[in-house]
Amino acid sequence: MAVPAPRIRDMKRSGIREIMDLAAQRSDVLHLEVGQPDFATPTHIVEAACAAATQGYTTYTANKGLLEVRESITAKLKRDNAIDVAADDVVISCGAVNALFESLVALVSPGDAILLPDPGWPNYEMMADTLSAQVSRYPLLPDEGYIPDLERLDALAAEPGAKVLIINSPGNPTGAVFPRWVIEELVDIARRHDLYLISDECYEQIVFEGEHVSPGSLEHDGRVLSVFSMSKSYAMTGWRMGYVAGESSLIDLVAKVQEPVVSCATSVTQKAGQAALEGDQSCVREMTASYRARRDVVVDLLRSGGLLINEPKGAFYILADISAASSDSYAFARRLVAEKGVAVAPGLTFGPAGAGVVRLSLATDLDQLRTGTQRLVEAVSQWRNA
Same domain, 224 and 250: yes
pLDDT of residue 12 exceeding 90: no
pTM check: above 0.85: yes
Same domain, 37 and 48: no
Give the CATH number for residue 57: 3.40.640.10
- pLDDT given for residue 225 in this prediction: 98
In this predicted model, what pLDDT tens digit does every residue of 69-83 receive, in sequence order? 999 999 999 999 999
User: Could you give the number of structural domains in the chain?
Assistant: 2
In this predicted model, what pLDDT tens digit does every residue of 201-243 receive, in sequence order? 999 999 999 999 999 999 888 999 999 999 999 999 999 999 9
Same domain, 99 and 217: yes
Beta-sheet pairing, 147-148 with 134-141: antiparallel
Same domain, 270 and 312: no
- pLDDT given for residue 217 in this prediction: 97
Same domain, 263 and 292: no
3-state secondary structure the chain: CCCCCHHHHCCCCCHHHHHHHHHCCCCCCEECCCCCCCCCCCHHHHHHHHHHHHCCCCCCCCCCCCHHHHHHHHHHHHHHHCCCCCHHHEEEECCHHHHHHHHHHHHCCCCCEEEEEECCCHHHHHHHHHCCCEEEEEEEEHHHCCEECHHHHHHHHCCCCEEEEEEECCCCCCCCCCCHHHHHHHHHHHHHCCCEEEEECCCCCCECCCCCCCHHHCCCCCCEEEEEECCCCCCCHHHCCEEEEECHHHHHHHHHHHHHHCCCCCHHHHHHHHHHHHCCCHHHHHHHHHHHHHHHHHHHHHHHCCCECCCCCECCEEEEECCCCCCCHHHHHHHHHHHHCEECEEHHHHCHHHCCEEEEECCCCHHHHHHHHHHHHHHHHHHCCC
pLDDT of residue 40 exceeding 90: yes
pLDDT of residue 191 exceeding 70: yes
- pLDDT given for residue 386 in this prediction: 62
Same domain, 273 and 337: no
- pLDDT given for residue 3 in this prediction: 82
Residue 289 lies in a domain: yes
Determine the average pLDDT of the residues in 346-363.
97
Determine the average pLDDT of the residues in 87-101.
98
Same domain, 317 and 170: no
287 vs 207, 363, 364, CA distance in Å? 11, 9, 11
Same domain, 220 and 123: yes
Domain end (from 278, 307, 342): 278
Same domain, 11 and 54: no
pLDDT of residue 97 exceeding 90: yes
Q: What share of the chain has pLDDT > 70, as a percent? A: 99
Mean pLDDT of all residues in the chain? 96
Q: Interior CA angle at 169 toward 167 and 174, to 5°?
A: 100
314 vs 281, 345, 384, CA distance in Å? 18, 18, 30
The domain containing residue 344 runs over which residues? 6-41+282-383
Determine the average pLDDT of the residues in 310-336.
96
Residue 1 lies in a domain: no
Residue 11 — pLDDT band, cuts 50, 70, 90? confident
Domain end (from 225, 247, 278): 278
Domain end (from 259, 278, 297): 278
